[in-house]
Structure 1
Amino acid sequence: MKKNLYILLLLWCSTLHSQENSIHKINWSGQKKMDVIFMTRFIQSKVGEALDSIKLNSDIQALTRLNGITKATYTVDKLKENETYEVTFFLIENYTLIPNLSLWTTDDAPAAYRVGLYEFNLLGKNISIGGFYQFNGINSYGLQFAAPYLFNENWGLETSLQQIGSIEPVFLNSASAKYEYTNKAFELLGVYRTNFKNTIKFGSSLFNEKYTYINGATSPEIPQDFTIDKVLFKVNNQYDNLKYEFYLVEGIKNSSYFQFVTQTNSFQNEFLIGWNDFVYLKRFGKTGNFGTRIRLGLASNDVSPFAPFALDNNINLRGVGNIIDRGTGSFVMNNEYRYTLYEKKWFVLQSNTFIDLGSWRKPGGNWNDFVASENFRIFPGVGLRFIHKTIFNAIFRIDYGIGINENGAKGLVFGIGQYF
């Protein structure tokens, strides 16, 4: 009997201690557009549960990854009357209704442009919706919708509908040809957040590719005009342990992509493709930011002029040119050091010094292709970043890369957002 009373007394004391160290209330300060109910469900800290500084720090890290929040901090106040705690999160929100305008030159049109409008925080729930129109000699359009927390704090979906057209080089042995390429696609993905650092996306895409020969080399094995219906199945996994202080970032991010493509034509086989991006960012001093990205990709090693990995300015090597070659394997390392030259209120001017290097495996080639001198490229360069601290992804970048290999190319690369 005494033993049972002792156990009950211990349980009562434990419960009382737990209640005394619990969270009594969660407040939000600085909230304008963000939905309070959504954020309360999104964070790990809950009313009635024990105060946990590890969870609170994780909540800050997770909140600053939301499109609508550029900075988050918290305070903890102890309530004397019942020995519980009141937590207050302080937010600085992003402006998230963003028009998009891009201009560039091409060899096939006097001017190319893209105009669009995107809302990255619809209803204050981190929902992205928007669309664009593009003209580069060919009309293109796209509509996107992404709601990673649509059903609850862990489950959501993404979908898109687009028609993209471009003039694509196709490499036939030592010669090349130009084709007009059109891709019409519909994609639907499920999104599952396994924990606050890791997210899995899975689903499929139905798309149609159309190639129309323009000029250049020909091959009896490759038709000059053809249309292909394809189905793509994909799984993506992203580990994100980045910490943000406005535009300054530190931590590790790793993204893995796996895809299987089946198609209806006779001269292209079904193929697998996968690649991995590893990103490491480190802050130095108050405004220095070093970053490196290592990308390794492999695909089915078929002999085909339509190999999936492209050597391109906007994807891997700044200054190399627009789709100068293709391969069934790719290795790329991008390194850069960003340093703040000027900062006042919302505006930041940032310098960038970089060196990009990479190699690729030719279609039907072997592992030695990765170390062959003719496939290896090195591009050092410099650039600038024009940053608005409280508009989502409002980073306009300019980089100039110079190839130091024999007959190395050089050129300017423009874009929105950091290169990686």
Structure 2
Amino acid sequence: MLINQIRRLLLFIFWLLLTIVCQGQQNIVADLKVQGNKKLKSSFVKKIAFIKPGVALDSSIIEEDIRLLKRLPSIAHAYYQVFPAEEPNEYNVFYNIEENFTIIPSANVYTTNDDEFAYRLGLHEFNLFGQNITLGGFYQKDIFDSYAINLRAPFLFSRKLGLAINYQNLTTQEPVFFDNTTADYRYNNESIELLGLFQFNFTNRVELGVSFFTEDYEYLFGATNPNVPQELVVDKLLYKLIYEYNNLNYDYQYVEGFRSIFNFQYVHSRNDEMLPDFLIGWNDFQYFKRFGKRGNWANRLRFGVASNEDTPFAPFAVDNNLNLRGVGNLIDRGTAAIVLNTEYRYTLYEKGWFALQGNAFIDAGSWRNPGGDFGDFADSQNLRVYPGLGLRFIHKRIFNAIFRIDYGVGVTENSTQGFVFGIGQYF
């Protein structure tokens, strides 16, 4: 018995000494160096990186840093190198940065065979002060004038904590549906929003905040109803929660992986009789798959539902710049929606900074009518399917510099067709 105890003690001492020796030989990061960046601050890269001087050299952590960097709007591409330092078992890690040009104009133009025409022009700086802060705004002409200003600083306080502030004054001509009839209203929404941004880890983040806004409905033309006011101004308070799971991996214009964005809102109204409080939520599921060197399959599935199913002022829009290319400009609304966008992108030509990409797509969706039920999704009058073709002109060194042209043709009942122009991928 005593011999066995001595033997176990010797084995424990041997294991302890072996662990100490192995730890003494562990490779350590001597320094993190950032190369290739000009506008982007090296201090910012070091602030958000997991790799720090003195930590263990771990290739999996370095790869996670690189994936994070490639997601940033200021970075077109990133890669790393590891070299021995002066001391034994110590290494210098180099993060090599290829920067994007980040002062970017934006433009969206859309029309249908009904001669509807609208556009949105904007300008954003996506790397203000070299800290990946976004500041910008847009002007929109959609029969009426609209504008907005946005500030977003996801790493303002730390690698995990940031802030966003948004102001908008949007005015559009909106269809309002009731009793199987329709009317058109001038709709204005003026709001200011404050959001806290928190990133739990590489793949999970949340946004939590509040928005104060005023909705103004003014009758223009169409059917009338004594129960539906021709003028209505309501102050509202909106509480918002956004949860995102993002496991996408970027390689210039190519994307691979899965992403889910859940958006939940509680809207409180000061006019509870006409516009009662309601809940609204939707989730976007995105899946991207690479095929060979040039192919990329892209998918987006959205399901959304609102609790105010009896209101004529339904929250989910049918619009060719939002969900169905070629359908028209704000042609319909619903109190629940399910939309699928799927497209195959193929790089037709690529050289240096430029790439030309073609795509074939199918956009399909269905909506629940105001006052209806979920059976409306199966109603042929609510189902819309729009296949089409498009082109992408891509500048690989300028963030989101993708000029797109799509032409969608409806194949369901009473469908339209038309071009949709814009900057950036459709999704």
> Normalization by structure 2: what TM-score?
0.92
Greater shift after overlay, 81-90 or 350-359? 81-90
**1:310-349 maps to which residues of 2 (within 5 A)?**
310-349=317-356
1:366 corresponds to 2:384:
no
Give, in angstroms, the shift of residue 108 of structure 1: 11
Per the TM alignment, residue 302 of structure 1 is displaced from its structure 2 partner at its CA by 2.4
Does the Cα contact within 8 Å between 2:113 and 2:417 map onto a contact in 1?
A: no
Tell me which residue corresponds to 2:385.
378
Over 3 Å counting, the alpha-carbon distance change for 1:341 and 1:164 in structure 2 is same
Residues of 2 paired with 1:188 and 1:150: CA distance? 14
Distance 1:273 1:305, change over 3 A: same
Contact 2:110–2:321 at 8 Å: present in 1 too? no
1:128-169 residue CA offsets vs partner (Å, 9 max, x unmatched): 001223333423221110001100110001001111111111
Could you tell me which of 29, 37, 42 is aligned with 1:36? 42
CA distance in 2: counterparts of 1:399 and 1:134, whole angstroms: 20
Write the letter of the residue equivalent to 2:88.
N
Q: Check if 1:195 corresponds to 2:204.
A: no
1:53-105: per-residue Cα shift (whole Å, max 9, x none)?
A: 11111111100011100101111123464121111111110000113344455
Deviates more, 1:405-414 or 1:118-127: 405-414
| SS of 2:370 mapped into structure 1 | coil
TM-score (norm 1): 0.94
Q: Relative to structure 2, which stretch is displaced further, 167-176 or 221-230?
A: 167-176
Select which of 22, 26, 30 maps to 1:24: 30
Q: Please state whether the residue corresponding to 1:51 is helix, strand or coil.
A: coil
How far apart are residue 256 of structure 1 and its match? 0.4
Which of 378, 387, 396 is matched with 1:389 structurally? Answer: 396
The answer to whether the aligner puts 1:121 opposite 2:121 as a matched pair is no
Displacement, 1:403?
1.2
Return the letter of the residue paired with 2:424. Answer: G
Cα distance, 1:364 vs. partner? 2.2
Kindly indicate whether the alpha-carbon contact (under 8 Å) linking 1:205 and 1:231 is maintained by their aligned counterparts in 2. Answer: yes
The equivalences for 1:299-310 within 5 A come to: 299-310=306-317
Whole-angstrom distance in 1 between the partners of 2:173 and 2:20: 74
Pick aligned residue for 2:413 from 397, 403, 406? 406
CA distance in 1 between counterparts of 2:327 and 2:115 reads: 20
SS of structure 2 residue aligned to 1:195: coil
- Aligned residues of 2:69 and 2:75 also touching (Cα < 8 A): yes
Q: Which runs of 5+ in 2 are unaligned?
A: 1-8
Contact kept in structure 2, 1:250 and 1:282, CA below 8 Å: yes
Distance across 1 between alignment mates of 2:254 and 2:150: 28
SS in 1 for 2:381: helix
Cα distance in 2 between the residues matched to 1:101 and 1:328: 29
Distance, in Å, in 1 between the alignment partners of 2:316 and 2:58 is 46
Q: What does 1:194-343 correspond to in 2, within 5 Å? A: 194-265=200-271, 266-343=273-350
Aligned to 2:4: none
Deviation at 1:41, TM superposition (A): 1.6
Inter-partner Cα distance in structure 2 for 1:245 and 1:7? 45
- Percent identity at matched positions? 50
**Cα distance change on mapping 1:165 and 1:109 into 2, 3 Å:** farther
Partners of 1:107 and 1:374 lie apart in 2 by 20
Instruction: Mark the CA change 1:364 to 1:164 in structure 2 (over 3 Å): closer, same or farther.
Output: same
Q: Is residue 108–residue 167 contact of structure 1 (8 Å, CA) maintained in 2?
A: no
Q: Show the counterpart of 1:164.
A: 170
The alpha carbon displacement at 1:320 in A equals 1.4
1:327-385 residue CA offsets vs partner (Å, 9 max, x unmatched): 11111111100011111221111101001111111122222111222221211110111
Task: Please identify, of 361-370 and 150-159, the stretch whose mean Cα deviation from structure 2 is larger.
Answer: 361-370
Q: How many residues align?
A: 417
CA shift for structure 1 position 109: 10
**Which structure's relative contact order is higher, taking Cα pairs within 8 Å and 6+ residues apart?**
2
CA contact (8 A) 1:106 1:136 kept: no
- Structure 1 residues 356 and 113, CA, compared in 2 at 3 Å: closer, same or farther? closer
> Aligned in 2, Cα 1:36/1:131: closer, same or farther, shift over 3 Å?
same
Q: Name the structure 1 match of 2:5.
A: none
**Pairing 1:140-179 to 2, within 5 Å after superposition:** 140-179=146-185
Check if 1:418 corresponds to 2:418. Answer: no
Q: Which moved more, 1:81-90 or 1:233-242?
A: 81-90
How far, CA to CA, are the matches of 2:308 and 2:317 in structure 1? 14
Counterpart of 2:284, as a letter, is: D
Pairing 1:67–2:107 present: no
Cα pair 1:235 1:258 within 8 Å, conserved:
yes
Q: Secondary structure at the match of 1:64?
A: helix
Structure 1 residues 350 and 332: CA distance shift in structure 2, 3 A: same
Note if contact 2:106-2:423 (Cα within 8 Å) is conserved in structure 1: no
Local SS of the residue matching 1:298: strand
1:177 CA displacement: 1.1
Task: Determine the C-alpha separation between the residues in 1 that align with 2:111 and 2:387.
Answer: 23
